Amino acid sequence: MAVALSLAAGEGCASTPISKGGVADLRRLILRTLNENQILILSSLAVQRGTITSLLRSLSEENGVPLSTLKLNARILRGLNLISFGSTGENRCAEVEALGSFVLRLLGYEPIEDAIQRTS
């Protein structure tokens, strides 16, 4: 049985069915590729608005992870095009990119906006 993981328009190629085993393999690959701090940042950013600095400071205090470690991991996520945020001096809200949303859905996280849209 195939499960369709589709990409929204503009997110890449056309939708291709992927088997349940393929989804599980892809999920395992992503979990091995992203570390715990990167998943923490990505999942937190999906539900919180604000600058990357405020988010990382909050995560650092709540989870006891050094701020410098979280900053490095946020830059890695930005380099992978999973999140976006302004550079030094830009007071721009950080956000999850389309690929980041796909990864979160694959890992079983669901951004609040998606849940709200389905219930409306």
Domains and CATH numbers, the chain: 36-119 (1.10.10.10)
Instruction: Locate 55 and state its tokens.
Output: 């988010």
User: Is 48 in a helix, a strand, or coil?
Assistant: coil
d(CA 18, CA 36): 26
The pLDDT value recorded for residue 115 is: 43
- Tell me the pTM: 0.73
The pLDDT value recorded for residue 112 is: 46
The pLDDT value recorded for residue 91 is: 73
d(CA 51, CA 70): 14
CA dihedral 50, 53, 59, 65 (to 10 degrees): 170
The pLDDT value recorded for residue 116 is: 40
The pLDDT value recorded for residue 87 is: 77
Low-confidence ranges of the chain (pLDDT < 70): 1-15, 90, 110-120
